[in-house]
Chain A
Amino acid sequence: MSLLDKLDAVAAARKALLPEGLEVFGTPIEEVYSATEARIGDRRILFLGTNNYLGLTFAPECLRAAHEAIDREGTGTTGSRMANGSYSGHRALEREFAEFYHCQSGIVFTTGYQANLAMISGLAGAGDVVLIDGDSHASVYDGCRLSGAEIIRFRHNDVSDMEKRLKRLGERSKSTLIIAEGIYSMLGDQAPLAEIVRVKNAYNSVLLLDEAHSLGVLGKTGQGLAEETGLTDGVDFITGTFSKSLGSIGGYCVSNHPQLDQLRYISRPYIFTASPSPATIASTRAALKLLRDGTELRRQLWQNSRQLYARLDGLGYRLGPQPGPVIANILDNPQQALMLWKGLLDHGIYVNLILPPAAPEGKALVRCSVSAAHTTEQMDHVGNVFAELRKSIFQ
């Protein structure tokens, strides 16, 4: 099969799965009105799939900081961190992340995806092992491939399965990087961190925790699962993203290991890309302050999340195992998921549709992402629409 024939096969598979004329993926958003509302076509819709957990994308402090940075430093750095792209803002944000986590040092990356690519490929290499959860994000899988290390998976959130694999490695467990996530993006469940840290210590391995979906969501100051469980010292490297609770784009890593800074010289996804724009850095710095002081935002986020999770659970939808801002409705087949997704959109509610092979275990997901900026009335409305669709689609 030629290179282009392969793409034709992909197109044919997608056409077979999706109805003609329905833009399920990459749905065009014409106008954005607020953190929770926008226009698709001629319809005003409620965002329920944006990962804007704290609703900070229109926070006046962030907007002002971004405007000022553009006026002061221009639209872009046009260079990598290794060359001309390390402005005072980039270095300040790295210090602020390190202080936020009470860690020795921090590094900022251009995207969250690149943060994982850079850290995993910088830490592990040929001859090493990366031991990853089966439900890991694509950035983890891709970082592992880039590293050249041996990639071994364990069953999702199953620490005994993880330990079994460490045991098989023998002495090689000492050169093993274990990777887990604070909140998993597909089902919204949390890693059993206490058990993971215990096993990691027993086998002298290294642990990287991706707090992409848990930053701003868990912990007293919003650091994530490590803070929530009091285990920050047990985690070797924490990565995360700016593109969820911080409302911009970028990534970070913090650590107490002094070797972290050496990754600036060996990690290709850090070196060979342009650094984040001044506006991005400025709005992220402002958002990080709001996140740290965002106790009320977290309370509202969790109230909304629990409200919607309980309502959908009560309606009989099959959900991820625990409440949280990522609420995954698990459907048996893509057709059901597509009907539910389309039904929600027809009622002015935009959620994410996840089809095989992206969904775990061959299932299909309709994934809601709740925000602190949603109102109780909006959550009620969403629950009512799900109730109506339950009757029309599934009964």
Chain B
Amino acid sequence: MSTDYNNILSRLCFHLKQLSSPDVVILPETDLINELAIDSVKLLSLVMEIEDEFDISVPLNVLADVQTVHELANLIYQIKSQNK
């Protein structure tokens, strides 16, 4: 993965930190629902923040396949790469 991916992962972790309890450690393999308790409403709000930050649109269809922090970061990376 490139620096772009690492940058995306870092920014994503920053946003996730705002939604989680302070003592939670967020790693690429962290499960969004089971470990961070990000429900569907929170996830959609998070996605809108991310869309603004990276100037992309994330289709709802593909979000259903996302479970971990890495998978979400990778999805953003792929969409951003396609838009270049």
Contacts and interface: CB of A to CB of B under 8 A. Distances in A.
Task: List 4 tightest A-B contacts by C-beta distance, closest first.
Answer: A151-B60, A150-B59, A152-B57, A362-B41
Interface of B: 39-42, 44-45, 48, 55-61, 83
Contact of B61 (A150, A165, A169, A361): A150
A152 B45 CA distance: 13
Nearest to B40: A357
A153 B60 contact: yes
Nearest to A132: B60
A361 B41 CA distance: 6
Given A168-B56, A361-B41, 5 more contacts: A150-B61, A151-B61, A152-B60, A357-B41, A361-B45
B41 A356 contact: yes
A344 B20 CA distance: 35
Interface of A: 134, 144-145, 150-153, 155, 165, 168-169, 356-357, 361-362
B57 A168 contact: yes
Most buried by B among A144, A168, A169: A168
B39 A165 contact: no
Nearest to B61: A151
A150 B59 CA distance: 6
A168 B48 CA distance: 14
Contacts of B55: 168
A165 B57 contact: yes
A168 B44 contact: no
A150 B56 CA distance: 14
A362 B48 contact: no
